[in-house]
Chains A and B, each alone.
Chain A
């Protein structure tokens, strides 16, 4: 089996086959992938990471495809991570986002990867962030992360994006409610897609009302509401301009640095947790000893835990 370290150079050169393989290693947490990621992390940091989220049927995939076409016309390379749910019953998944991303089938400058959630608690988040690192290190200019945005793991993932767009569509009154509950706080841009449909202006008005009610402070980024018709490309170039403006604004106001630090904190914590918990399981001698001692009431859980983690 190819080891992750053997293909690090090919990933850094942006070779698609190597990038694809590395993404599999990341997803499977294969042996040696951590060393590879250590190298890749140092080469990453120049991509603009976009998060696109919204209810099923809101046209996210079509919008991603239209954005990719726009970025390609500017000569920029695009990487897409399209997250779809795994079946809770069989663990399998049908990943259909590529159906609407067919325009780029023979363009090596657009790399699309379908990701199944695999139901692993927290696993998705970490694999996704590592996958962003891989695409970023491979020299991808724009990385687009597409998810339904349901559940804490997906909110965690989407928060890792520099610019988060929440997509809604006219005529689905309830999805505004859904956004209110979960993703309002993370939206940097609201997109009303399928804006040629009846009720688009009403959806815009509802969003505007909702934003007006949300807590704001002076000097904050003014969350815009943008209309698109992704299927024919209307408004997509303008949307890309809004994303670029948001990145500029963040850079100017120190927000880019703040978010990068916040993401770094999250990632360090996740990995640290994993490192610590890996030693805290039956079968590890020190842990078994602590179990014996606490069960026999010779010591207490806190003292045992302190001893185990060395503090």
Chain B
């Protein structure tokens, strides 16, 4: 019965003391215009809140936007919480914002599916999200 193309569901989250949300709002619009359903959490969330919300919304992709420089501790905490979950959530996790190149390998090793820096073109963002969501949606 699943013949219709179901919209990709994406949660975009801002975690911690980072009040810069212009970028994430632009991304939200870009994804909406690409036909995706975007759930935005708003500012200053905790990793716990964001993971709970992403589970409830049953999203395909969780995008965390960070411009505060706190990406290493925050992603460490996110994956620590995921390890503690009774059942591993199905969504892919991507990082967006300002992250130095030298941290990308470490983030990938933790389990981040894609790191999209602040200079990523909108089309590329859409494409990468389609890529990372494809295996998740089949699972």
Question: Which residues of A are at the interface with B, using a C-beta cutoff of 8 A?
Answer: 1, 16-17, 19-21, 23-24, 28-31, 86-87, 89-96, 98-100, 102, 105-106, 108, 111-114, 116, 118
Q: How far is the CB of A109 from chain B (nearest CB, A)?
A: 11
Point out the residues of chain B lying under 8 angstroms from A16, CB to CB.
Answer: 52, 55-56
Within 8 A of A (CB), among B1-30: 1-2, 6-7, 28-29
Instruction: Determine if B138 is an interface residue (Cβ-Cβ < 8 Å).
Output: yes
**Which stretch from B39-47, B72-80, B94-102, B111-119 is at the chain A interface?**
B39-47
Contact of B49 among A87, A95, A102, A113 (CB under 8 A): A102
Instruction: Determine if B53 is an interface residue (Cβ-Cβ < 8 Å).
Output: yes
| Nearest-CB residue, chain B, relative to A93 | B37
* Cα–Cα distance between A99 and B38 once the two chains are bound (Å): 12
Q: What are 8 A-B pairs with beta-carbon distances under 8 A?
A: A20-B58, A28-B6, A92-B7, A92-B38, A94-B32, A95-B38, A105-B46, A114-B57
Contact B40 A96 (CB under 8 A): yes
Q: How far is the CB of A144 from chain B (nearest CB, A)?
A: 14
Q: How far is the CB of B51 from chain A (nearest CB, A)?
A: 9
* Cα–Cα distance between A26 and B28 once the two chains are bound (Å): 25
Contact A99 B89 (CB under 8 A): no
Instruction: Determine if B92 is an interface residue (Cβ-Cβ < 8 Å).
Output: no
* Cα–Cα distance between A34 and B94 once the two chains are bound (Å): 34
Contact of B38 among A1, A94, A106, A108 (CB under 8 A): A94
| Nearest-CB residue, chain B, relative to A116 | B37
Contact B138 A92 (CB under 8 A): no
Point out the residues of chain A lying under 8 angstroms from B55, CB to CB.
Answer: 16-17, 20
Interface of B is mostly: mixed
Count contacts between A and B, CB distance < 8 Å.
98
Contact B33 A30 (CB under 8 A): no
Point out the residues of chain B lying under 8 angstroms from A92, CB to CB.
Answer: 7, 31-38
Contact B56 A94 (CB under 8 A): no
Question: Are A90 and B52 also in contact (CB < 8 A) when A20-B58, A102-B45, A106-B46 are?
Answer: no
* Cα–Cα distance between A54 and B11 once the two chains are bound (Å): 25
Q: A87-B32, A92-B32 are in contact. List 5 more A-B contacts (CB 8 A).
A: A23-B58, A89-B33, A96-B39, A105-B45, A112-B57
Contact B89 A114 (CB under 8 A): no
Q: How far is the CB of A126 from chain B (nearest CB, A)?
A: 14
Contact B38 A31 (CB under 8 A): no
* Cα–Cα distance between A93 and B138 once the two chains are bound (Å): 22
Contact A113 B32 (CB under 8 A): no
* Cα–Cα distance between A118 and B7 once the two chains are bound (Å): 9
* Cα–Cα distance between A68 and B139 once the two chains are bound (Å): 33
Contact B40 A94 (CB under 8 A): yes
| Nearest-CB residue, chain A, relative to B30 | A92
Contact A90 B1 (CB under 8 A): no
* Cα–Cα distance between A280 and B127 once the two chains are bound (Å): 39
Contact B45 A113 (CB under 8 A): no
Contact of A111 among B1, B38, B56, B89 (CB under 8 A): B56
Per CB-CB distance, the 6 closest pairs between chain A and chain B, nearest first, are A105-B49, A99-B42, A92-B32, A20-B58, A106-B48, A92-B35
Contact of B40 among A20, A29, A95, A106 (CB under 8 A): A95
* Cα–Cα distance between A94 and B57 once the two chains are bound (Å): 13
Point out the residues of chain A lying under 8 angstroms from B35, CB to CB.
Answer: 90-92
* Cα–Cα distance between A116 and B32 once the two chains are bound (Å): 11
Instruction: Determine if B107 is an interface residue (Cβ-Cβ < 8 Å).
Output: no
